[in-house]
Structure 1
Amino acid sequence: HSSFTGPKSKTLNLSHPNLVCGLAPLRRTTRRRNPPEALSNSMAEEVPQSLNYIPEVILKKRKNNEEWAIRRKLQLEQKVKRLKSDNFVIKKPEQFIREYRDKEMDLIQMKQRGKNRSRRAFVTSESSLLFVIRIGGKSDMHPRTRKLLYSLRLRKIFNGVFVKADARILEILQKVEPFVTYGYPNLKSIKDLIYKKGAGKIDNQRVPLTSNEVVEQALGQNGILCLEDVVTEIANVGPHFKEVTSFLCPFALNKPEKALQGKKKRFSDGGDSGNCEDHINELVSKMN
């Protein structure tokens, strides 16, 4: 092996394979390592950041706002649709004045009926059971009259309820006489109403009386286990009459085929309102 040296030069190995082939020797390279600071910065970027905490109150408020916005949008759409429909009628000022006068007149007449002892509601039957049907009352009714009807749970026209004819009920019936008709239901009418139109309220939900399980669930603690027990308790005005009538929803009767004549005229004077005694059974059969 030959080698040469020169001034200020390093000794070269001519036997190196790269020199034999006429190539320069390869230098050994090393990878630069990231400094500790750069490494820590890159790791910090890779670590996912935690989400911001949002209180539950804000989330609920946001949800309520969204639901309100949806309801408001639907209301506006329905309003626009109602305005565009042909059935929409704009009331004239004269109509508002007439309705206001009717309400004030109803209030005056209600006070007069309360003071007039000769026209008080009366019960001629030995039974203290009454069936009351609302037959009128809308825009011409004073808010006080509406409140009395609501106390009887008669919120809609042609709703019917069973009541016990005590002094308080008779006083209310006297004041709302132009808007209701009532009488003495027989056993057949009671059964037909319970079995055909009967519904109870469980957990603020209207449940049809299609089985005895519904009755037992609501009134079992009072010893009332079936529909026949409900009929018996109402017909006899038993000790649990209040619990039974509170459980029963108002009966939604059908509109009679023949319109009622003289709604605000007393039955004794040839109208339909007030005490119609046993004739209530005929009206129930037409509306059931």
Structure 2
Amino acid sequence: MADEEQKPLPYVQETVLKKRKNNEEWAIKRREQLGQRKLRSKENRKLNFKRAEQYIKEFRNKELDLVQMKHRGKRQRLSSVVLKSNLLFIIRICGTNDMHPKTRKILHYLRLKRILAGVFVKANDGIMDMLRRVEPYVTYGYPNLKSVKELVYKKGCGKIHGQRVPLTDNNIIEQALGKYGIICIEDIVHEIATIGPHFKEVVSFLWPFKLNTTESVQGKKKLYNDGGDAGNREDHINELISKMN
């Protein structure tokens, strides 16, 4: 008996074939998406756990910073500090997420909102108390005439209508400070170096100095006299200014 002829395969429309193929591809893609979603979910759980630990650590560090700040204020307020000069130059050397908001508030009051910003201040009890409280984040000392002159001439910028303007023209100075008899950049240097009667107006006009990075400052919160970067450098601040100017 002859082999029965094979029956031809039923005809399937091309649109049906395309639909089946699309369904298969969609099913494969869906499985891949579910697999990736599970993987991301697992990774997110790990990340959330790490973040929770990190936030707890940051919170504890901020609270520790606040406690240490209060201790520094109480401890050093009992002993009077004899300053060699009433003119100080303060440089912010570090800033971290561990900083307590009260510490940040003091730094902002001193106009030290950024790392490596520097400002001139007239020393008094209030300033010295603030410096003690934020001591791990700043270094300061007694700038000499040479340092004052170099800073003002090389890095000096004025604040005009909230904008930072380089002191390239004495007309800028005269318009802002002329009513105080200060009409040129040399007048600014003299007023700061001698802590003149309009010292406050001059330093308020000056934008905080933007200093350069240097290997001499690593942001160590230990006191300068103990081998760190922070605190009072006295006359040695002039060497640091020269390197950062």
What is the TM-score normalised by the length of structure 1? 0.65
1:209, 1:201 → 2: CA distance?
A: 10
Pair 1:152 & 2:110 matched: yes
Q: Aligned with 1:182: secondary structure?
A: strand
Structure 1 unmatched ranges of 5 or more: 1-89
Structure-to-structure mapping, 1:9-88, within 5 angstroms: none
Structure-to-structure mapping, 1:54-203, within 5 angstroms: 92-117=51-76, 122-125=81-84, 127-203=85-161
User: Which structure has the higher relative contact order (CA within 8 Å, separation 6+)?
Assistant: 2
Alpha-carbon contact 2:177-2:183 (below 8 Å) kept: yes
Alpha-carbon contact 2:94-2:219 (below 8 Å) kept: no
Once the two structures are superposed, residues 153-175 of structure 1 have per-residue CA deviations (whole angstroms, 9 ceiling, x without a partner) of 00000000000001110010010
Question: Residue 29 of structure 2 corresponds to which residue in structure 1?
Answer: none
Residue 120 of structure 1, CA deviation: 6.1
Alpha-carbon contact 2:94-2:138 (below 8 Å) kept: yes
Q: What is the RMSD computed on CA atoms of the aligned residues?
A: 1.7
Residue 121 of structure 1, CA deviation: 8.0
State the number of aligned residues: 197
Question: Residue 282 of structure 1 corresponds to which residue in structure 2?
Answer: 239
Structure-to-structure mapping, 1:194-273, within 5 angstroms: 194-256=152-214, 258=215, 260-261=217-218, 263-273=220-230
Task: Give the letter for the 1:110 counterpart.
Answer: M
1:118, 1:110 → 2: CA distance?
A: 12
Residue 93 of structure 1, CA deviation: 2.6
- Residue identity over aligned pairs, in percent, reads 63
Alpha-carbon contact 1:110-1:176 (below 8 Å) kept: yes
What is the TM-score normalised by the length of structure 2? 0.77
Structure 2 unmatched ranges of 5 or more: 1-46
Question: Residue 42 of structure 1 corresponds to which residue in structure 2?
Answer: none
1:164, 1:117 → 2: CA distance?
A: 19
Once the two structures are superposed, residues 95-152 of structure 1 have per-residue CA deviations (whole angstroms, 9 ceiling, x without a partner) of 2222111111000000101110378683431x21000000012201000000000000
